[in-house]
A and B are shown apart, each in its own frame.
Chain A
Amino acid sequence: MDIGNQEETPAAPPVTLRLERKHLLAIRWMHWINFPLLFIMILSGIQIYWNDSDNAHLHPHAIYRLGFGSLTLVRIFPESVWNALHIPWHVTQGMGDHFFFMWLFALNGVAYVLYSAISGEWRFLIPRRGSLREAFQVMLASLHLRRSLPLKKKYNGAQRIAYSTVIAMGAGSLITGLAIFKPTQLHYLTTMLGGYEWARWEHFWLTVGFCLFFLVHVVQVAFAGWNNFRSMVSGYEIRPANQPSLERERRS
């Protein structure tokens, strides 16, 4: 596609903008479907976790804490947080939701991975050589320690690493979740993950990871601006006409 367009009549003003197809339709749908699903999975998970934390004297926060050995630094969530989120006494709802929406979460995730693999969109996402260095530069730029961002393809190194990691984390949540869901039948899996309690630990901290990802993601999207956010809804971004085409990158 020739964007430059030098054959226009001289009277016309120069075209400085063009529309860039940034996010494919299926990817957008799966991204936005995942958002409430992940939210429901986290909330229902917290509702289940509350029941584990109740009766602390019977099972004294063996899993959900920051600590080493018998030393506990922080027990996650004080009473006020539970009450503010209306968590207490919702364990049946939490389990019902968790074991229903887990299917949608898993199907959506598997569909995303398959679609990315088949459509070739994974090439935008997978970290490449130099992604780590680029991610470091992006971080410096974000902290205003460095002036300009490195040359933009679809995703920069930091994005490639973060987005690939969060997909892998999703897979990790499914696997550790299975190990908790059927620890007797899938005892090989549970054992491989370090045993039942470790599988719970991993499942929980992956969730904390999702929350951190979400925070950073939202902040970065806010900084990136409307044009970028809009492209995740409409699919298209307005770009300077002279920037390299994503379609070219997509097909290469």
Chain B
Amino acid sequence: MSGRKAKHEYTARHATDAEVLAASRKLTRRGFAVAAIGAAAGFGFYRWVEYSRDDGMQPVPLRRAFQANAALSRKVFDERALAPTYPASRAENLRINGLIGIKEAILPESWRLQLVGAANEKHFAQYVPDVTAWTYEYSRGRESTEGDHFTFVPPVENQPVAGYSKDAKDVTMGKDGKATESAVTQTSNVALPIWKQVLNGTQIQIGCNNIFGQDPPTAFGFGGNSTNYPGFTRMKRYNIRTEVFINAP
């Protein structure tokens, strides 16, 4: 509406310069009034987004956006498509996302990686309703994770371990002939980057649902299938056990 009409109205001939200026003033008032309303509305919208009720530490509109983005990704991308693979030689140091909750070296056997985000994830054998319920074990017991949670304290050895304490000359011997290392020396001896320590002994399971697009064969068994039936037969499961690096002779 406004485009054509306004153009006609305001770029039509004006008899005097004063008329031009008057028309301009009217347009300016109108423009800035609309702009003020628009700015207020925009600011109100922003406030509504930022100060909405929280859902999992995100305001509800932002949480909805996360969910919508995820749902859209599932629709757009083929879940069964394989991710590109690269030779291990091209791997670089993995990025540490954060050490919150990891005050000490975790016992690698107690570490678990759960892959989530697949459609119908409860179907998968690996599905754990609450992964935070998993109990991790630490090399020197659990300590408080309050405070400077980015301070990673490497474990203090009781005994030097071959391939772990780096240099034999760093291992000082006590009077009883046993190794006594100061914590400082040992700290400097922890030669492995943290990501290797974290990943040591990691078991990564990668599952793919119904890869051949066929119905599963009927499973017969006394008392049924011990694993989640159809998971057992429908799933092509790859177990990759990564024996990562440390404690290896």
- Known A21-B7, A55-B96, A184-B83; judge A15-B27 contact (CB<8 A): no
- Give Cα distance in the complex from A229 to B14, angstroms: 23
- Known A233-B31, A234-B27; judge A17-B73 contact (CB<8 A): no
Q: Find A19's partner among B23, B65, B76 (CB 8 Å cutoff).
A: B23
Q: Find A17's partner among B17, B27, B42, B150 (CB 8 Å cutoff).
A: B17
- Give Cα distance in the complex from A142 to B159, angstroms: 73
- Known A19-B20, A184-B83; judge A36-B96 contact (CB<8 A): no
- Give Cα distance in the complex from A136 to B95, angstroms: 45
- Known A15-B15, A17-B17, A99-B69; judge A32-B38 contact (CB<8 A): yes
1/0 contact string of A179-211 vs chain B (CB within 8 Å): 000101101000000000000000000000000
A8 contacts partner chain B, Cβ-Cβ < 8 Å:
yes
* Interchain CB contact under 8 A, A18 and B57: no
1/0 contact string of A159-195 vs chain B (CB within 8 Å): 0000000000000000000000010110100000000
The residues of A that contact B58 with a CB separation of less than 8 Å are 92, 96
Q: Which residues of B contact A (CB under 8 A)?
A: 2-3, 6-7, 10-11, 13-17, 20-21, 23-24, 27-28, 30-32, 35, 38, 42, 46, 49-50, 57-59, 61-63, 65-66, 69, 73, 76-77, 81, 83-84, 95-96, 98, 150, 194
The 7 closest A-B CB pairs, nearest first, are: A234-B31, A96-B62, A100-B65, A185-B77, A17-B20, A233-B31, A58-B96
Q: Which residues of A contact B (CB under 8 A)?
A: 1, 3, 5, 8, 12-13, 15-21, 24-25, 29, 32-33, 36, 40, 54-55, 58-59, 92-93, 96-97, 99-100, 103, 182, 184-185, 187, 230, 233-236, 238, 247
Q: Name 30 A/B residue pairs within 8 A (Cβ), A-sorted.
A: A12-B15, A13-B16, A15-B16, A15-B17, A17-B20, A17-B21, A19-B24, A21-B6, A21-B7, A21-B11, A25-B2, A32-B35, A55-B96, A58-B194, A92-B57, A96-B62, A96-B65, A96-B66, A99-B65, A182-B73, A185-B73, A185-B76, A185-B77, A187-B84, A230-B28, A234-B24, A234-B27, A234-B30, A236-B27, A238-B24
